[in-house]
Amino acid sequence: MWKTGIDYFDEKLHELIVKSIYSILIYAIIAYKIETNTKESFLGRETSDKAFHRWLKIFETFPEGIALIRNNTVLYSNKSLKHILEI
């Protein structure tokens, strides 16, 4: 990288070091966040609110009518259920 920087861009060594450290830092942060999110999702340690909204997005794509009911109250129903029941 240093030889290419000198040949093509006339960069100094300290500029190359700063750019390299910046790139490595950004990639490391992104990799860490992705890895922790993947492990949380796999182990089921997501917050219940986050998991609930993820399932709502999935349920919205179903052509069948779906309703989530808890304690005799409807928490969620997708658009297909409303059209099926003509509400």
> pLDDT digit string (tens) for 1-58?
667 766 666 777 788 788 889 999 999 999 999 898 888 776 666 566 677 777 777 7
Average pLDDT over residues 68-80: 77
Say whether pTM exceeds 0.75.
Answer: no
Signed CA dihedral, 45, 47, 52, 57: sign only: negative
Q: List 77's β-bridge partners, or say none.
A: 67
Is pLDDT of 77 > 70? yes
Question: If you average pLDDT over residues 54-82, what whole number do you get?
Answer: 75
